[in-house]
Amino acid sequence: MIRSTIVFLLFVFGIFFAGLYAAYDEIDPCRALAVENARRSPLPTAIAEAWNKIGTSHQNRLSCTRSLILSWRERAMP
């Protein structure tokens, strides 16, 4: 029972990071959040991405992951 739970959690994390890499070419959630925010910004993507990387550089990975999931939820449910 415990082994199957651990395998399932590893599978979920693997799918999450594979999705990050496929969508953003990044595995780090903070960099992926910067790319996501840059794509949703009215500024040109290159400028907004650099600006957002500076803004997300001080956040920890857990808060970046939460913000990224919230951003996905906002985009999925307008």
35 near 64, Cβ under 8 Å? no
Looking at the predicted structure, is the pLDDT value of residue 1 above 90? no
Q: What is the pLDDT of residue 11?
A: 96
Nearest to 20 by CA among 55, 57, 71: 71
Average pLDDT, the chain: 91
Residue 48: how many other CB atoms lie within 10 Å: 18
Name the band, by pLDDT with cuts 50, 70 and 90, for residue 12: very high
Query: For 27-38, what is each residue's pLDDT tens digit?
Result: 888 999 999 999
Q: What is the pLDDT of residue 74?
A: 92
Q: What is the pLDDT of residue 17?
A: 85
